[in-house]
Amino acid sequence: MIHRAGRLISVASFVVWLLLNAVALFVFGGWAACTTIACSTLLFALLLYFFRNPNRTTKVGSPRQVVAPVDGKVIVSQAVFQREYLNDSCYQISIFMSPLNVHVTRYPISGKVIYSKYHSGKYLVAWHPKSAEKNERTTVAIELRDGQQLLYKQIAGALARRIVNYAEVGDSVQVGADSGFIKFGSRLDILLPLDAEIKVRLGQEVRGGETHIAELKRKS
């Protein structure tokens, strides 16, 4: 299944693929046509692979379980001070996505969207420490029924030039549901309360909508 963020470019690429191969067949022929068809088909297949949107079954045992919003590798797991919106100390988990990972962003928890903002910026490599503050990014905060809040950032990388964010303030959202897409190599930061029980370690590979990355403490 192709993600909705990639449907237009997929259709346009298919038209280009058809025209290019028709010209190769009827104008050049022979080995030139075979080479053109093989190369263009490989590139088109890679494009479809990048925009894939596999079905995921999200299972949580409680409304305080946090799941990975994206596929990738955990590259940061530490306490930080978050200046945007939360303006408080919290725990950060950062997940790096290579161009081969699924790039769908999914809601990490159920709740209500209370903040959603786009920031223009640079395109430093996604693992750069300053990318979370300097790169193009979106920031989304979700509030649970008991008042607890968490925040996540979609961050563009050196190749990513387009962030798609569907979260709007006031939306009631479901854990594991589609919340956006980041095109071509990127990173996602999730900011949790300091007392959250972290379930992942540095270097661990996670799957969006499936891997439990944290458990929020019950608010007294």
Specify the residue for token string 């979106």.
138
Rounded CA-CA distance 211/93 in Å is 13
Residue closest to 65 by CA, chosen among 167, 197, 187, 160? 197
110, 116, 131, 186: which is the annotated catalytic residue? 186
Q: Are 191 and 86 in contact (CB under 8 A)?
A: yes
Please report, to the nearest 10 degrees, the dihedral formed by the alpha carbons of residues 127, 96, 48, 51 taken in order: -110
Is 186 in the active site?
A: yes
Q: Are 178 and 106 in contact (CB under 8 A)?
A: yes
Q: Which two tokens stand for residue 18?
A: 């058809």
- At residue 96, the 3 state secondary structure works out as strand
Q: Are 102 and 2 in contact (CB under 8 A)?
A: no
- At residue 41, the 3 state secondary structure works out as helix
Active site members: 186
